[in-house]
Amino acid sequence: MSFPELIPVILCGGSGTRLWPLSRESYPKQFLALHGGSRTMLQHTALRLREMNANVPASDSPIIVCNAEHRFLTAQQLAEAGIEHPRILLEPGGRNTAPALTLAALQALSGGAPDSVLIVMPADHAVGDEAAFCRAAEKAWRAAARGAMVTFGVVADRPETGYGYIQQGEAGPDGLFSIRSFAEKPDPETARRYLAQGGYSWNSGLFVVRASVWLDAMTRFRPDMLAACRSAMEGAKADMDFIRPDPDAFLACPSDSIDYAVMERLPSDPACGIPACMIPLVAGWSDVGAWDALWQVLDHDERGNAALGDTLNVESQGSLLVSSSRLVVGVGVKDLVVVETPDAVLVASKSHTQSVKSVVAELKARGQALAGSHRKVHRPWGWYDSIDAGERFQVKRIVVNPGASLSLQLHHHRAEHWIVVKGTAEVTNGDRVMLLSENESTFIPIGHAHRLANPGKLPLEIIEVQSGSYLGEDDIVRLDDTYGRVLVTKTAPKQPRNSEEPSA
């Protein structure tokens, strides 16, 4: 038979709350470089099939399903990884993995495209042995081409309670197994029993299936979900390099996972004609779901310590130190996790890292911005860092990428000083447009329309000092925007406050 193309489908949603304070809703773990080197988890996932056998027609145009808020960050990281033609689908809201895969399958078949095999990969998983992963993926591709729906069962090496399990059935061709049952995350005693009994693997959340077969399964098991997704894609609009499904149609879609919606129903419904298969995977896989999982995938010193960033361990054992802005030192600590960011520090027992999620929930309940955003905020034009703030002032460090510009805007209650630290700035200030070099500055009075742009080939860095009676980010009139963001006009509330949210 003629084997179809293998298309990566990367599910780039999720907030990674158990990896707080490094992972936050505005910049979740898939966009972080967590497991060695400078590549982020999304970039590793997008490049994961580069070691596929030359006989496997793997596509270099993946389908990405991500939150609309992260669209520019996703596109930028893919471009930096050399992924030139991604198809980026923007979810108007989270509806779990089954609707996300349905959108991707409909996109894969759009315009009369051939019926391809989709390999579905969350963007935030780590794989230590990518060659072994590609060998397993090739077997899964061949089985899926023949009409099966295939998942990867990670061979368990410890009684893990943080993963669901798959009980394998009879052995089939090419090292595949039928699936007898699925099990939820077990308690410690059950996990030990699974490991001792054998035949149980961790549920990886990785799937391989033909686009048409997935839609057939949705027709049988979740026609309501399929109808909503079809309607959303029929009303989809192109937005720059992105594809926006119709928001009203998609938000009417029920929420469910691939496992619950389809995969777990297949073994008990042979009449549907879609075999459910599992391939054992031994490739150093981890979902990096919490800090103890990250500790496991990182390299360890002779005392079992792992580290990221500027750290030093002295007589410590089995601990994880993470630094993002300053030196972190552990002295005589055992089985601890210490994570430093500019605005928060986490200290936790390695055995209690699953509880970090409840910390984020508590911060949200208190209305604290630390739950969802960093002090350093990334934008399509670059990033800014809120260095300091007081009752009538705020100081930001702003970096603008080459060729990028902020929105044209004005403020009713604050003035701004811009000082160029590095590079060349093109500044619109009222009816004047000027170029500023290093150590030059400009003052922007209240009510003046202004814009900052970088006409150079190197990053532009400035210091912005805001001053006035009100510094909140709802004091903004956006007049023009290069990135197609909504132009807004808002009036400041009566009570002044500072804000960490961006005006640009």
Of 368, 389, 404, which marks where a domain is finished? 368
Average pLDDT on 464-476 reads 90
Contact, 174 vs 280, CB < 8 A?
Answer: no
Residue 128: Cβ within 10 Å count: 14
| DSSP string for residues in 93-143 | S---HHHHHHHHHHHHTGGG---PEEEEEETT-EES-HHHHHHHHHHHHHH
On whether both 311 and 354 belong to a single domain, the answer is: yes
On whether both 381 and 249 belong to a single domain, the answer is: no
pLDDT tens across 201-246, in order?
999 999 999 999 999 999 999 999 999 999 999 999 998 889 999 9
On whether both 109 and 223 belong to a single domain, the answer is: yes
**Highest-confidence range of 54-68, 326-340, 472-486, by mean pLDDT?**
326-340
Of 286, 316, 348, which marks where a domain is finished? 286
- Confidence check: pLDDT of 492 > 60: no
* Distances 325 to 49, 353, 464 between C-alpha atoms, Å: 33, 22, 21
User: How high does pLDDT run on average in the chain?
Assistant: 93
Residue 488 lies in a domain: no
- Confidence check: pLDDT of 500 > 50: no
On whether both 364 and 380 belong to a single domain, the answer is: no
On whether both 65 and 104 belong to a single domain, the answer is: yes
On whether both 259 and 161 belong to a single domain, the answer is: yes
The SS3 call for residue 211 is helix
Percent of the chain with pLDDT over 70: 95
What was the pLDDT predicted at 486?
Answer: 67
On whether both 313 and 430 belong to a single domain, the answer is: no
On whether both 363 and 388 belong to a single domain, the answer is: no
On whether both 352 and 403 belong to a single domain, the answer is: no
Number of domains making up the chain: 3
Task: State the CATH number of the domain containing residue 271.
Answer: 3.90.550.10
What was the pLDDT predicted at 495?
Answer: 40
On whether both 304 and 261 belong to a single domain, the answer is: no
Domain, as residue range, for 408: 376-480
Residue 195 lies in a domain: yes
Residue 503 lies in a domain: no
**CA 102 to CA 342: how far, in whole Å?**
39
Residue 500 lies in a domain: no
Residue 497 lies in a domain: no
**CA 80 to CA 73: how far, in whole Å?**
11
On whether both 417 and 363 belong to a single domain, the answer is: no
Average pLDDT on 255-266 reads 96
Average pLDDT on 11-17 reads 90
Percent of the chain with pLDDT over 90: 88
Residue 15 lies in a domain: yes
Q: Which of 317, 102, 91, 343 is nearest to 223 (CA)?
A: 102
Between 241 and 36, the more confident residue is 241
Strand-pair partners of 467: 393, 415
- Confidence check: pLDDT of 498 > 60: no
Task: State the CATH number of the domain containing residue 405.
Answer: 2.60.120.10
Of 286, 321, 352, which marks where a domain is finished? 286
The SS3 call for residue 58 is strand
Residue 486: Cβ within 10 Å count: 6
Residue 68 lies in a domain: yes
pLDDT tens across 314-337, in order?
999 999 999 999 999 999 999 999
What was the pLDDT predicted at 198?
Answer: 94
Residue 492 lies in a domain: no
On whether both 313 and 229 belong to a single domain, the answer is: no
Pairing between β-strand 460-468 and β-strand 393-400 as defined by DSSP bridges: antiparallel
